[in-house]
Chains A and B, each alone.
Chain A
Amino acid sequence: MKERLAIIEGWRSPFCKAGTEFKGMQADQLGAVVVREVMANSVLDYADIDEVIMGNVAQPGHAANIARVIALQGGFPVSTSAYTVNRNCASGMESMTTAANKILAGEIDSALVGGSESMSSVPLLYSPEMTKFMMQMMFAKTPLAKLKLLSQFRLSFLKPVIGIEQGLTDPVCGLNMGQTAEVLAKEFAITREQQDQFALNSHQQAIKAQQAGKFADEIISVAIAPKYQHIQHLDNGPRDNQTLAALAKLRPYFDRLAGSVTVGNACPITDGAVAFTVMAESKAKAMGLTPLGYLADYSYAGLAGNRMGLGPAYATAKLLDKSGLALSDFDLVELNEAFAAQVIANQCAFESKEFAQQYLQRAHALGELDPNKLNVNGGAIALGHPVGATGGRLILTLLHELRRQGLQRGLATLCIGGGQGAALALEVE
């Protein structure tokens, strides 16, 4: 990038497991709360923001171009343009890198970016048979024609298509995300115990961070619609009482016969939203602002859909090449925990020379992912993974942790359903 993107400030909602506290709130509502609070807390005024760009994966039917709906509900005037981006699990990051491109191209000066997802609200759908049946019913004019059609109705038409399951399945390779994790577990011979241990660790780190009040730096409290009886202040995913024994009891979910990926060592589906204000570093300097941090560079990379979990390795390789940085230049790493198996597979791939040579066209390994630098405040296994928002949370959590520890540079990377990876180089000064 020819100039760094200044991330002026950012906040997120608590992340709540789907079907819990935020189950009555749609993605636009949740996103709007965060946008409203970001702007209320902002040194900038609504008028200072040129465009709103939000990431969202499920794209709810009632809010086409959800970014626009979020912007208006979040208090933006009608004159502020807005659009939605979708790069599946990286949508929260895509909003920021898209803004970076537009800002550095001189198209806009500043943007509000982020992502929002309500996985509670992903609907059940009518099957194609049912849809066809209802269409024909509408077109049937005479009672006789209707009766004739009715005789063709089968109870099986009523079986719904589960939207969330469909959304988490790669249509090209035909595998569910969990099944792609199984592929990696087999490729890298990752045991069930390794995965469970990793999951336990994620919960413990998250609980530690929560109890230390670290997340309070990044979370805004959300009054829970539609009843408004309570206000949610914390993520509800991390389990204080999680144990290996409890994790060991769970049955493999995606490959019931010979698998090792369970709901315990995978991230839960989750509701949440995040938002930032961004502008060019030079503009922030000219305005005398102190940004939360900077986006120094980024890369996206593609790979086979059935091994999508390795996206971070591919994208990081590209980022290192592009930026001239080495993995050791990064003081902290946030690597999204879609599945424990997938993170461990990346750890293996990062430090493997063979992997680098075979898949990344590199002579040397990327480098070791030091456990002391990796996801130090837990990850998605504990906190959850609202697909459209997670990318933003990684950036937010990483920047705050860099600041807390007085460090300089961090890597935020995640795997993307469909076979992609994203890697962002972030800096605080």
Chain B
Amino acid sequence: MKHIHVQKNDWLIRVTFDLQDQKINKLSSDVMQELDSLLEDIKSSPQQIVSFESAKKNIFIAGADIQELQKIDSPEMAKEKAHLGQEIFNRLDALPQTTIAIIDGACAGGGCELALACDFRLASDNPKTKIGLPEVKLGIIPGWGGTQRLPRLIGLPEALAIILPGKLVSAEKAYRIKLVDQVFSSAQFNVQVEQFLENLKQKSFQASLLKRRQPKSALQKVTTFAMQTHPARLLILKKAQQNVMKTSKGFYPAPLAVLDVYRNNCSFEEGLKRELAAFSDLASTVICKHLIGLFFLNEQVKKEQSESYPQDVELPTSGAVIGAGVMGGGIAWLMSYKGLSVRVKDINWASIELGYQQAASYFSQLQKQRRIKQGAIDYAMNRIGGSLQFTGFNRAQVAIEAVVEVMSVKKQVLQEAEAELPEDSLLCSNTSALSITEMASVLTRPEQFCGMHFFNPVNRMPLVEIVKGQQTSEQTIAKAIAISKAWGKVPIVVGDCPGFLVNRILLPYLNEAAYLLQEGADIEKVDLAINSFGMPMGPFQLADEVGIDVGYKVAAILQAGFGERMTVAPVLEHIHDKLKLSGKKGGRGFYHYKNKQVEVNELLYQAGCVADSKDFSDQDIIDRLMLVMVNEAARCLDEDIVTNAGQLDLAMIMGTGFPAWRGGLCRWADSIGCDEVVKRLQKLHQQVGNRYEVAPYLLKCVEQGHGFYH
């Protein structure tokens, strides 16, 4: 066979997945066909035991073929594909032999469902061994029996904990929740597997494995029984539903569909039917296509970057941060979390204290999620050393500046730092809007300097904008990309203009929200409309969260850079200069923050520049705020601030929380149609003013009859 090899002796059939010309194993339709005919053959074979394994390093089976998934364009097609898979795995399940999956590496999605259809599973303790059902992340649900077999094996609560967030678990965890029956050291894996297969010949050994899956103590027996009752089941589902609504706000249908599959207590066969129906409904939806598209986008951006920039980069073991505080502290946290020793320099101890607190709070968040232990935190925090001088900078291989957004201060600080750093170190600015090229003008090694713009909060926001100044070398950009990736971030290379990419697009949106307020819109209504669009926060909530002072500073920089279309709304000036509101951190902004209560700051409606209350429809609000971003995105593409619409979309999703299920800003615009976007912009241009003057790039798109994506 092409993709599956079979080895037989008198008692054992070893089935080995080794896809031809592929780095990984996946269950594409031709592989499934091969498997099907193989099962037919095995069924009548005399051997007692059948093992399923992989010849690929660090991969068992990565899942179904995502490209094939993306091609599903109707519920019928989805149903046909999933049904076939269900049947094949049912046939596997029904084999007269004892079946076992030998998992040494990633075992996800369809691969996990195959393993579930076996009688036994054993895994290696290889750190690459990860087992789970990530389908929900792609907007679908497990469709080859996974939703039915998993809870029957490990119980509904544990199954939901894997399926709903689309999680993969380590071998150790898998063993603990009884998803696998045995774990072997990867150092002696093959020897131990041989022995295990030998042992499997004995019924008593099989019985001992099965016994481990049963609850042990009387208490465990009682709770296990109680969990299986209908009321308990409903309670579990209710809790899970609340959780899903909290994290996804109901925008993502897949986890809800999973819960729906479990709604009724039913037989295995009935359950498969429910699974099939739910899968078929989801697999051809736009949301599913967008989520899968995003997966490919991620891969594509990685590929584009690796093609454009050299790859041989030595990763730093020591770093430095100039300017403590929230961002500086966050970056110091990231460095120390990733094992670097970090020097933090500021001009006063109070700021350094703030930086330490920021780092400590991110660590304590990790600790609450049980992703780090106290001992590791102690060691990591100890890698951070604060000082009023540049002590230790002579050993820093990467230094990131995060001082106040004032050009003259930045220039001075960068110059001082550069003099202390070793010759070959990378120097970056975390500026969110100021010109990298101008900062570089005072440096002696401008080619080793670039922007590395992290987003707040550093521990949650995956995006890093790598800003290329006029003199920045390719090697420097390559280094910045490699470092951000090693630190678990998603780097996007952007051009040097005020606000770079994300802030340049996002600030007009915040500014436009302020104009809406001026025209008499209700603050809460605007935020709610934007929430319903899928943004994690409305513009006013976001402004308060970021800090009105911070936002205002960036807005002013953009106005200076782009002129009329970025004119800061007078009401913002009023709030910042006259009322001196700073947002959430000061307790008052567009909202009042008192203890846990949040109320609209009614005072703002009385400002001189705010018109009488006027009703805007949700659609009007969304159009005004989203289209101003689309328009600016078009200009960014026109000016080559970012390579392509794909990278732009990825940046907006990773940097602003733009709803992933909409596929990104440009993808959303394309879903409306570029001609329609232009039409609405033209209307807004007439009604609202020059801020909506249609970007030439959009007109060109319409002319050429394509969207942001070709």
Contacts and interface: CB of A to CB of B under 8 A. Distances in A.
B385 A231 contact: no
A231 B382 contact: no
B357 interface: yes
A40 B343 contact: yes
A203 interface: no
A29 interface: yes
Residue among B360, B379, B385, B387 facing the most chain A CB atoms (10 A cut-off):
B385
Which 9 pairs across A and B sit closest by C-beta, in order of nearness? A40-B392, A228-B356, A228-B360, A40-B391, A223-B356, A41-B391, A75-B341, A32-B382, A73-B382
Nearest to A75: B341
B337 to A, nearest CB: 15
B387 A40 contact: yes
B92 interface: no
Given A73-B379, A75-B383, A221-B349, A228 B359 contact: yes
A179 B387 CA distance: 43
A223 to B, nearest CB: 5
Nearest to A227: B360
Interface string B380-394: 011111110001100
B178 interface: no
Interface in A33-81: 33, 36-37, 39-41, 45, 73-75
A146 B329 CA distance: 54
Contact of B386 (A39, A73, A223, A229): A223
Contacts of A41: 391-392
A229 B377 CA distance: 15
B385 A36 contact: yes
Nearest to A30: B382
A45 B395 CA distance: 9
Nearest to A40: B392
Contacts of A37: 385, 387, 391
Interface in B336-391: 341, 343, 349, 352-353, 356-357, 359-360, 374, 377-379, 381-387, 391
Interface range on chain A (Cβ under 8 Å from partner): 20 to 34
A294 to B, nearest CB: 24
B382 A29 contact: yes
A406 interface: no
Interface of A: 29, 32-33, 36-37, 39-41, 45, 73-75, 221, 223, 225-231, 233
Contacts of B353: 223, 228-231
Contacts of B378: 29, 225-226
B340 to A, nearest CB: 11
Contacts of A33: 382, 385
A36 B360 CA distance: 18
Interface in B114-161: none
Nearest to B388: A221
A40 B382 contact: no
Residue among A33, A39, A40 facing the most chain B CB atoms (10 A cut-off):
A40
Contact of B357 (A40, A74, A228, A233): A228
Nearest to A33: B382
Nearest to A221: B349
A226 B375 CA distance: 11
A228 B341 CA distance: 17
B320 to A, nearest CB: 10
Nearest to B377: A226
Residue among A32, A39, A223 facing the most chain B CB atoms (10 A cut-off):
A223
18 contacts: A33-B385, A36-B385, A37-B391, A40-B392, A41-B392, A73-B382, A75-B341, A223-B352, A223-B353, A223-B384, A223-B386, A225-B378, A228-B353, A229-B353, A229-B357, A231-B353, A231-B386, A233-B349
Nearest to A24: B378
Contacts of A226: 360, 374, 377-378, 381
A36 B382 contact: yes
Contacts of B360: 226-228
Contacts of B387: 37, 40
A46 to B, nearest CB: 8
Contacts of A29: 378, 382
Contacts of A233: 349
Contacts of B385: 33, 36-37, 40
Nearest to A32: B382
Contacts of B349: 221, 231, 233
A231 B356 contact: yes
Given A32-B382, A227-B360, 5 more contacts: A223-B356, A223-B381, A226-B374, A231-B349, A231-B352
A295 to B, nearest CB: 25
B381 A228 contact: yes
Contacts of A227: 360
A75 B395 CA distance: 12
Contacts of A225: 378, 381-382
Contacts of A230: 353
Contacts of A36: 341, 382-383, 385
A288 B134 CA distance: 62
Contacts of A223: 352-353, 356, 381, 384, 386
Contacts of B384: 223
A112 B352 CA distance: 27
A206 to B, nearest CB: 22
Nearest to A43: B394
A226 B367 CA distance: 13
A45 B341 CA distance: 14
Nearest to A73: B382
A33 B356 CA distance: 14
Residue among B352, B382, B386, B391 facing the most chain A CB atoms (10 A cut-off):
B382
Nearest to A45: B395
A41 B392 CA distance: 6
A231 B356 CA distance: 9
A36 B380 CA distance: 13
A40 B387 CA distance: 10
Contacts of A32: 382
Nearest to B341: A75
Interface string B404-445: 000000000000000000000000000000000000000000
B391 to A, nearest CB: 5
Contacts of B343: 40
Residue among A36, A37, A221, A228 facing the most chain B CB atoms (10 A cut-off):
A228
Nearest to A230: B353
Nearest to A35: B382
A42 to B, nearest CB: 9
A204 to B, nearest CB: 27
Interface string B439-453: 000000000000000
A125 to B, nearest CB: 22
A337 B594 CA distance: 53
B451 to A, nearest CB: 27
A221 B391 CA distance: 13
Nearest to A233: B349
A32 B343 CA distance: 15
Contacts of B374: 226
B319 to A, nearest CB: 13
Nearest to A36: B385
Residue among B359, B377, B386 facing the most chain A CB atoms (10 A cut-off):
B386
A223 B324 CA distance: 13
B316 to A, nearest CB: 14
Interface string B532-568: 0000000000000000000000000000000000000
A302 to B, nearest CB: 38
B134 to A, nearest CB: 35
Contacts of B379: 73
A313 B382 CA distance: 41
Nearest to B358: A228
Contacts of A45: 395
A29 B382 CA distance: 7
Contacts of B357: 228-229
A426 to B, nearest CB: 25
A132 to B, nearest CB: 30
Nearest to B343: A40
A226 B391 CA distance: 24
